[in-house]
């Protein structure tokens, strides 16, 4: 297996040209379609609320697993184990 220790793609000549092309395309896309982009922003905000609830909710379940039903040294031990 060959490992190159040279520069990455984005620092090569091709990468720099690609980044320049993407920057120019993003500029023209935003300047020509600003009204469309701004018109979609309220809907993206409304869509973000249920998506954040769906994807960020998994953290609650992980903390629930380590807790014990009775409070005492077992609960303190599980808190120390989580850290």
Q: What percent of the chain has pLDDT over 70?
A: 61
Separation between Cα atoms, residue 18 and residue 11, nearest integer Å: 10
Residue 3 maps to a domain: no
**Whether 63 contacts 83, CB under 8 Å:** no
Range of the domain at 41: 9-82
- What is the number of structural domains in the chain? 1
pLDDT digits (tens, 9 = 90+) for 14-29: 999 999 999 999 999 9
Residue 4 maps to a domain: no
Residue 44 maps to a domain: yes
Residue 62 maps to a domain: yes
**Whether 82 contacts 63, CB under 8 Å:** yes
Q: What pTM value is reported for the model?
A: 0.41
Angle in degrees, CA 63, 83, 60, rounded to 5: 15
User: Rounded mean pLDDT of 57-79?
Assistant: 57
Residue 2 maps to a domain: no
Question: What are the φ/ψ torsions at residue 28 (nearest 5 degrees)?
Answer: -70, -35
**Whether 75 contacts 68, CB under 8 Å:** yes
Residue 1 maps to a domain: no
């Amino acid at each position: 297996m060959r490992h190159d220790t040279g520069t990455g793609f984005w620092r090569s000549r091709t990468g720099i040209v690609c980044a320049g092309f993407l920057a120019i395309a993003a500029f023209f896309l935003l300047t020509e379609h600003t009204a469309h982009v701004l018109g979609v922003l309220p809907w993206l905000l409304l869509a973000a609320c249920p998506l954040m609830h769906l994807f960020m909710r998994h953290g609650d379940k992980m903390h629930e697993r380590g807790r014990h039903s009775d409070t005492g040294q077992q609960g303190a031990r599980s808190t120390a184990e989580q850290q």
